[in-house]
Amino acid sequence: MGMLVTLYLITANLYASVNAPSTRGFSFIEIWVCGVQFPMLMAIVEYGILLFKLKFEKQNPNERGGGNSWFQPFGTVKYTDNKVARTPIQEKEDPVQDMKKRFKDVDSLCAKISVFCFTTFNIVYWITGFAHYHH
Chain mean position to CA 99: 14
Q: Is the pLDDT of residue 66 over 50?
A: no
Q: Which long-range contacts (CB under 8 A, 24 or more apart) does 4-9 make?
A: 4/40, 4/43, 4/44, 4/47, 5/44, 7/40, 8/37, 8/40, 8/41, 8/44
Structural domain boundaries in the chain: 1-15+27-58+97-135
Average pLDDT over residues 102-123: 92
What pLDDT score does 117 carry?
92
DSSP string spanning 57-85?
Answer: HHH-TTSSS-TTGGG-TT-EEEEETTEEE
Q: Do residues 32 and 125 touch, judged by C-beta distance below 8 A?
A: yes
pTM of the model: 0.61
Q: List pLDDT tens digits, range 31-65.
A: 888 888 888 889 899 989 888 888 887 766 555 44
